[in-house]
Structure 1
Amino acid sequence: MKAVVFHDIGDIRLEDVPEPQIEQPTDAIVKLTSSAICGTDLHMVRGTFSGMVPGTILGHEGVGIVEQIGSDVRNLKVGDRVVIPSTIACGYCSYCRAGYYSQCDNANPNGKSAGTAFFGGPKETGPFNGLQAEKARVPFANANLVKLPQEVTDDKAILISDIFPTGYFGADMANIKPGHTVAVFGCGPVGLFAIASAKLMDAGRIFAIDTIPSRLEKARELGAEVIDYNAEDPVEALKRLTGGIGVDSAIDAVGVDANKPQSGPAAEQAQQQSETFQQEVQKVAPQTNPQGDNWHPGDAPSQVSEWAVQALAKAGTLSVIGVYPPTDQFFPIGMAMNKNLTINMGNCNHRKYVPHLVELVRVNAIDPTTILTQVDEMSNAIDAYKIFDQRQQGWHKVELVPGM
């Protein structure tokens, strides 16, 4: 079968690989009818996350039809149409029973303390072959496959595999109450779904911070008030637009790949903060190298972390769903502590949210396809990766299908 395969940083290929087989009685084999490219996939290709095993199939978003089931899969049958939650969970450990599916004790073969298991990730996440393929093996299929009603098309369902649940998770962790003011940093597909989810939770005002015009326009279409961080200082703008108070909730939907502003007062502020941080590091521990050879004293906390903590009202809530590597150690904790901020973060517990979001889509409470902008054949996957990585105008989310 055809699949998108990781070989090295910057080297992915569409090639023929063996078809997956049932390995455990709790497995299922799914014939994929839709998959997608996610910003997290770019972390693997760029080398932001180390430990990728050459030969691993990429991708963690999938919709398809059950082709085979193991003897212990009792809630599905061959022919069922399903969506695959991106993170993998056993469904029966104490964490899964409490809804913390991304912290499952049993899914990750590296051990109970190994952390989140997901499709198409580095060695410490399994590794499990991903879903940018014609077929996939799904472990613990009774928990990791959710049946789809006829009303939810593939185009809608593929967005419920990862990015819609992740955006909803971010809004849920942000403790949004009716009337609250919310700032969403990053208007990629997850950030856009965080905006849509904040609306579902009756937020009063939603601010969207980005610099790519097509992303800001899409955020405006969803009802957000937009701020271009290269045109103005986002913290100053958020304070001014909230009467000097700041926002009740902030969602970091960017993570480690946040870009520094390139021009204007925000760029000057970012440069000053970086220089101050470097001076403080040299004072405290001039010879310390806490992140190994990839770290140097000029490194600083994530730009989004700085902005979010500064822009939050006292006793506000910061929700972090942007991806950070385990080696990242910097956060403006002093400022957060002195403002009595609540900080929630983590990998999305997809299986907790997917059934609820499937139902919302079924009854037309929301149409997730407003954020899907590109549909391409699997045979064009490598070119689609390149364009998506360049953040070209209008490329918010890319769906891959077997053929059109």
Structure 2
Amino acid sequence: MKAVVFHGIGDIRLDDVQEPKIEQPTDAIVRLTSSAICGTDLHMIRGSMSGMQPGTILGHEGVGVVEEVGPAVRNLKAGERVVIPSTIACGYCSYCRAGYYSQCDNANPNGSRAGTAFFGGPKSTGPFHGLQAEYARVPYANIGLTKIPEEVDDDQAILLSDIFPTGWFGADMAEIKPGDAVLVLGCGPVGLFAIQSALMMDAGQVFAVDHHDSRLDVARELGAECINFDREDPVEAVMSTTGGIGVDRVIDAVGVDANPPESGPAADKAREREEMFRQQAQMVSSQAKPEGELWKPGQAPSQALLWAMECIAKAGTLSVIGVYPETVRFFPWGQAMMMNLTVKAGNCPHRRYIPDLMRMVASGAVDPAEILSHRLPLDSVIEAYEKFDLREPGWVKVELRAA
């Protein structure tokens, strides 16, 4: 079969590989009719998420048709359309039963403390072969796979595999209440769904920060007040619009890749804030260690977190769904403590949200396919990755369709 295979940092290829087979009684084989490219995939390709093993099939978003099920899969049969959650869970451990499917004790073969198991990730996540392929083996299929009703098409269902649930999860963690002022940092696909989710939860005001006009245009259509950080300083824009109070909730939908702006009105301000943070960190470090060792590159908060802390109101909630590798160790806890902030972060427990979101889509309450910008055949995947990685105008979310 055809599959997108990781060969090394910056090196992915569309290869011919062996078709998967049933390995465990709770497995299913799914023929993929649709998959997608996600910003998380770029972390693996760029090397910002280490531990990728050459030969791993990429991709963690998938929709397809059940081809075969193991003897312990009693709720599915061949021929049924299903959406595949990005994260893998057993369904019976204490974490799964509490709804923390992304913290399953059993799915990750590296052990219960190893973290989230998901498709197409590094060794620490399994590894499990991913879903940018013609067929996939799905572990714990009796728990993960969710049937797709006739009212929901593949264009809608593929967005329920990861990014719509993740955006909803970010808004849910942020504890959004009717009337709240919300700031979403990053208008990639997950950020856009966080905006949409916040508005569905009756947020009174939603700000969106990015510098790609095509993404900000989508955010504006959804109802957000858009701030292009190449043209204005996000902190000044948010604070002036909220009467100096700030926002009640912030959702970081960018993660480790959020770099300071290089030019424009926000650039000098960003450098000033970063220098202030450096000086504070140096002061604390010099008190703790005689040699005054400062944080190393990559250990300081990303630009998104620095803006979040400047924009959030006292007693606010910060929700982090952007990807940060385990090597990131630094966060301005002193500021968070003094402001009585609530800080939440995590990988989305997709299986917890997919059934409810599926019902919303089937009822016509929301159409997630509005976020899709490109629908391409799997054969075009390498070119699509290149354009998506460069954030070319209009490239918001790419669906890959089977031949």
Q: Secondary structure at the match of 1:245?
A: coil
The 8 Å contact of residues 302 and 331 in structure 1, kept in 2 or not, is answered as no
Q: What is the identity, as a one-letter code, of the residue corresponding to 1:339?
A: M
The aligned counterpart of 2:399 is 399
Q: Secondary structure at the match of 1:334?
A: helix
The aligned counterpart of 1:185 is 185
The aligned counterpart of 2:349 is 349
Give runs of aligned pairs for residues 47-196 of structure 1, distance below 5 A. Answer: 47-196=47-196
The aligned counterpart of 2:387 is 387
What is the Cα-based RMSD across aligned positions, in Å? 1.3
Q: Secondary structure at the match of 1:71?
A: coil
The aligned counterpart of 1:17 is 17
Q: Secondary structure at the match of 1:7?
A: strand
Q: Secondary structure at the match of 1:66?
A: strand
Q: Distance in 1 between matches of 2:32 and 2:113?
A: 31
Q: Distance in 1 between matches of 2:280 and 2:64?
A: 53
The 8 Å contact of residues 317 and 342 in structure 2, kept in 1 or not, is answered as yes
Q: Distance in 2 between matches of 1:144 and 1:44?
A: 24
The 8 Å contact of residues 174 and 317 in structure 2, kept in 1 or not, is answered as yes
Which 5+ residue runs of structure 1 have no aligned equivalent? none
The 8 Å contact of residues 31 and 135 in structure 2, kept in 1 or not, is answered as yes
* Shift of residue 287, structure 1, vs aligned partner: 6.4
Over 3 Å counting, the alpha-carbon distance change for 1:332 and 1:281 in structure 2 is closer
Q: What is the identity, as a one-letter code, of the residue corresponding to 2:327?
A: T
Deviations 1:229-280 (A, max 9, x none): 1211111111110111111111000000012112234211221233334444
Q: Distance in 1 between matches of 2:278 and 2:340?
A: 26
Q: Secondary structure at the match of 2:314?
A: strand
Q: Secondary structure at the match of 2:13?
A: strand
Q: Distance in 2 between matches of 1:281 and 1:209?
A: 26
Q: Secondary structure at the match of 1:164?
A: helix
Bigger mean CA offset, 122-131 vs 303-312? 303-312
Q: TM (normalized to structure 1)?
A: 0.96
Once the two structures are aligned, what percentage of the paired residues are identical? 67
Q: Number of residue pairs matched?
A: 398
Q: Distance in 2 between matches of 1:281 and 1:155?
A: 47
The 8 Å contact of residues 274 and 299 in structure 1, kept in 2 or not, is answered as no
Give runs of aligned pairs for residues 30-45 of structure 1, distance below 5 A. Answer: 30-45=30-45
* Shift of residue 11, structure 1, vs aligned partner: 0.3
Q: Secondary structure at the match of 1:88?
A: coil
The aligned counterpart of 1:208 is 208
Deviations 1:142-179 (A, max 9, x none): 11100000010000000000000000000000111111
| 1:374 aligned onto 2:369 | no
Q: Secondary structure at the match of 2:3?
A: strand
Q: Distance in 1 between matches of 2:251 and 2:135?
A: 35
Q: Distance in 2 between matches of 1:220 and 1:322?
A: 21
* Shift of residue 17, structure 1, vs aligned partner: 0.4
Q: Secondary structure at the match of 1:172?
A: helix
Q: Distance in 2 between matches of 1:205 and 1:299?
A: 32
The aligned counterpart of 1:300 is 300
The 8 Å contact of residues 300 and 328 in structure 2, kept in 1 or not, is answered as no
The 8 Å contact of residues 300 and 329 in structure 2, kept in 1 or not, is answered as no
The 8 Å contact of residues 274 and 300 in structure 1, kept in 2 or not, is answered as no
Over 3 Å counting, the alpha-carbon distance change for 1:45 and 1:19 in structure 2 is same
The aligned counterpart of 1:2 is 2
| 1:26 aligned onto 2:26 | yes
Q: Distance in 2 between matches of 1:299 and 1:343?
A: 18
Deviations 1:111-133 (A, max 9, x none): 01000000000000000000000
Deviations 1:15-54 (A, max 9, x none): 0000000000000000000000000000000000010010
Q: What is the identity, as a one-letter code, of the residue corresponding to 2:123?
A: K
The aligned counterpart of 1:313 is 313
Q: TM (normalized to structure 2)?
A: 0.96
Q: What is the identity, as a one-letter code, of the residue corresponding to 2:69?
A: I
Which 5+ residue runs of structure 2 have no aligned equivalent? none
The 8 Å contact of residues 278 and 299 in structure 1, kept in 2 or not, is answered as no
The 8 Å contact of residues 119 and 128 in structure 2, kept in 1 or not, is answered as yes
The 8 Å contact of residues 187 and 219 in structure 2, kept in 1 or not, is answered as yes
* Shift of residue 331, structure 1, vs aligned partner: 1.1
The 8 Å contact of residues 34 and 158 in structure 2, kept in 1 or not, is answered as yes
Q: Distance in 2 between matches of 1:185 and 1:312?
A: 12
Q: Secondary structure at the match of 1:35?
A: strand
* Shift of residue 281, structure 1, vs aligned partner: 4.6
Q: Distance in 2 between matches of 1:35 and 1:186?
A: 23
The 8 Å contact of residues 187 and 215 in structure 1, kept in 2 or not, is answered as yes
Over 3 Å counting, the alpha-carbon distance change for 1:123 and 1:299 in structure 2 is closer
* Shift of residue 140, structure 1, vs aligned partner: 0.3
* Shift of residue 333, structure 1, vs aligned partner: 1.2
Q: Distance in 2 between matches of 1:278 and 1:191?
A: 28
Q: Distance in 2 between matches of 1:181 and 1:281?
A: 30
Q: Distance in 2 between matches of 1:8 and 1:188?
A: 25
The 8 Å contact of residues 85 and 161 in structure 2, kept in 1 or not, is answered as yes
Q: Distance in 1 between matches of 2:280 and 2:62?
A: 46
The 8 Å contact of residues 181 and 249 in structure 1, kept in 2 or not, is answered as yes
The 8 Å contact of residues 80 and 147 in structure 1, kept in 2 or not, is answered as yes
Q: What is the identity, as a one-letter code, of the residue corresponding to 2:211?
A: T
Q: Secondary structure at the match of 2:387?
A: helix
The 8 Å contact of residues 31 and 136 in structure 2, kept in 1 or not, is answered as yes
Q: Secondary structure at the match of 1:34?
A: strand
